[in-house]
Amino acid sequence: MLLVRLTLAAIVSLVPMMLEGGYGLPLTGDEAEAFLREARIVGMKPIGVGITKPMKVTLSDGERTHHAVFKSIDEIRHGVVRGRNGGFQTAFKDSYKYEIAAYELDKLLGLDLVPPTVEREIDGKRGSLQLWVEGAFTELDRREKNLETDDYVTWSNQQYKLRLLQQLTYNDDAHNIRNVIYDPSFRVYCIDNSRSFRHFHSLADKSGLRRFSRSALESLKALDAPTLKAKLGAWLANIEIKAVLARRDLLVELATTLAADLGEDAIYYP
């Protein structure tokens, strides 16, 4: 069988022309957050995938129309629950609040991986509303269709930032390759964070962490309890914030050890 590898130019040509606003995120930063909070809801329908039963929401402010994902799940399972990574947990939680916390933490670190996400009430339910990534495909799609980027270095660096965030938040769904998505430029996005922020003071899997962004590490080192409580306290309990800081220490220690063993040039990138 002939093996065909599709690169960026070919992938972009496959994006439906109906995406008038292009692909990726139509809005960013404060502008995106304000739109998500204030725009009128003009349509909602089930996405059809995902055990948290997310909804695809269409929003309009009268001039612009964009899509978003709404999740209202906020559940806790008492007793012992087996996690995806093979470990066992008590009081297993699946909550929309972690989607917002992941976005706020992403902003603190300057990772630019989690799409803009806010808290909003829709039809009497509070939940997370996350801006839709237009023209996106999953890591599963990439593997099945044998898609490749023209800029492997940039893509690889984003992957290491993604793994850093997943370990920092102890994301139970980190190994679900449907939860890593790309736009046609191969920009990486981290979605589905509702099973994150576990209480463990350990890393779920450090084997994939072999390189670190210097800027991300500096932001990581600067995190402290008052900052996290101020920025994430509305969605995380104190025990969850303490666990984030404990995992932060382990990540910094890992980066320092690898740099000492293999050399800074082999481990660090901007």
Range(s) of the domain holding residue 149: 8-269
In-domain check, residue 243: yes
Residue recorded with tokens 């599963």: 140
**Quick one: pLDDT at residue 82?**
61
Q: Side chain identity at 64, as an amino acid letter?
A: R
Distance of CA 121 to the CA centre of its chain: 22
Residue 210 belongs to a domain: yes
- Within-domain flag for 194: yes
The 3-state DSSP composition of the chain as helix, strand, coil percent (nearest 5) reads 35, 25, 40
Tens of pLDDT along the chain (270 residues)?
333 455 544 444 444 433 455 799 999 999 999 999 999 999 999 998 766 789 999 999 999 999 999 999 999 887 666 655 556 666 689 999 999 999 999 999 999 999 999 999 999 999 999 999 999 999 999 999 999 999 999 999 999 999 999 999 999 999 999 999 999 999 999 999 999 999 999 999 999 999 999 999 999 999 999 999 999 999 999 999 999 999 999 999 999 999 999 999 999 999
Residue at 170 is within a domain: yes
Q: What pLDDT does 19 receive?
A: 43
pLDDT for res 83: 58
Rounded Cα distance, 173 and 16, in Å: 29
Q: How many domains does the chain have?
A: 1
* The pLDDT of residue 22: 79
Q: What is the pTM of this model?
A: 0.89
- Counting other chains too, the contacts that 114-121 makes at CB distance below 8 Å and 24 or more residues apart are 114/165, 114/189, 114/190, 114/191, 114/193, 115/25, 115/189, 115/191, 116/25, 116/27, 116/28, 116/29, 116/32, 116/33, 116/36, 117/36, 118/33, 118/36, 118/37, 119/234, 119/235, 120/36, 120/37, 120/70
CA angle 31, 32, 36 (to 5 degrees): 120
pLDDT value, residue 31: 98
Q: How far apart are CA 228 and CA 234, in angstroms?
A: 10
19: which 2 tokens? 């995406």
pLDDT at position 88 is 63
Q: Which of 196, 204, 205, 202 is nearest to 236 (CA)?
A: 196
Is 2 inside a domain boundary?
no
Residue 182 counted as domain residue: yes
Residue 1 maps to a domain? no
Distances (CA, A) of 249 to 76, 199, 261: 28, 15, 18
List CB contacts of 10: < 8 A, sequence separation 6 or more. Answer: none
